[in-house]
Amino acid sequence: MSGTLFVRKPFRYAFYNVALVLIGVNILVFLATSANRNLFVLLSMNPRLVVDYGYWWQVFTYQFVHGGLYHLAGNMIGLFFFGISVERRIGSREFLLFYLLSGTLSGALSLAAYVATGMWGIFLVGASGAVFSVLLAYATLYPTSVIYLWMVIPIPAPLLVLGYAGIETYLLVTGTKSGVAHATHLFGFAVAWAYFAIRFGVNPARAWFRR
C-alpha cells in the first residue's frame, strides 16, 4: 500500500510553460546538430554505439534530435497543440516527468526491439515517441475534445488515437514507410497508457468510452 501511495503521490500544482521550454530545447539541439554532424551521431540513438560502446545517454538524448526541418516542425506542432493543454491539466512538474519518461522508455523499448531483430545500423531520432504519448494523454484528459484533421475533418480525440494506433500497426507489419519509427510511436502510446494506469489509476479506455 505504501508503495502505491508513493507512486501516486501528486506534485504540488504549478504551471511554467514547460512545453514551450521543451520546444525551445528541441530547436536549439536541431540547430546544433545541423551544424555539427559529429554531435548528431553522438546524440542520436544507434544500437551499436549504445550496446558495444556504452553510449547509454542516447536512449534519452535521441528525442531531442531531428532529421530535418519538417520532422522537427511536425513534432513541435504536436507538442504545442496537445502538450500545453495536458500541462495545464496535470501541472508542469507532472508533465515534465511524463514527457521525458515517455520519450526515454519509448527509446529503451525501441532499442530492445532493434537489438532483438538485429537492426544495429539504424539511427533513431525525434520526439515522436514522447509526442504520441502526449496525444494519448490529451485524449484521456479531454475525451470529448474534437480535433480537426488537416483543419477540415472533425475527429474525436480518442478516435484519432485509435486511428493512429491502427495505421502505425499496419505500417509496421507491412514495412510501409520503413524510414519512419512506427514501433517507437506505438511504444509511446503504450508507455502513456501504463503511466496513466500506474501513476493516476486511470484506464484511458474507460475515460474514452464512459460517455
- What are 157-200's pLDDT values in tens digits? 989 899 989 999 989 888 766 678 899 999 999 999 999 999 99
pLDDT: which is higher, 178 or 56: 56
What is the domain class of 13-209 according to CATH? mainly alpha
Q: Taking 60 as the threshold, does the pLDDT of residue 211 lie above it?
A: no
Rounded Cα gap, residues 179 and 154, in angstroms:
29
Which pTM does this prediction carry? 0.93
Rounded Cα gap, residues 19 and 204, in angstroms:
22
**What is the mean pLDDT of the segment spanning 129-153?**
91
- What are 76-107's pLDDT values in tens digits? 999 999 999 999 999 999 999 999 999 999 99
* Domain locations along the chain: 13-209
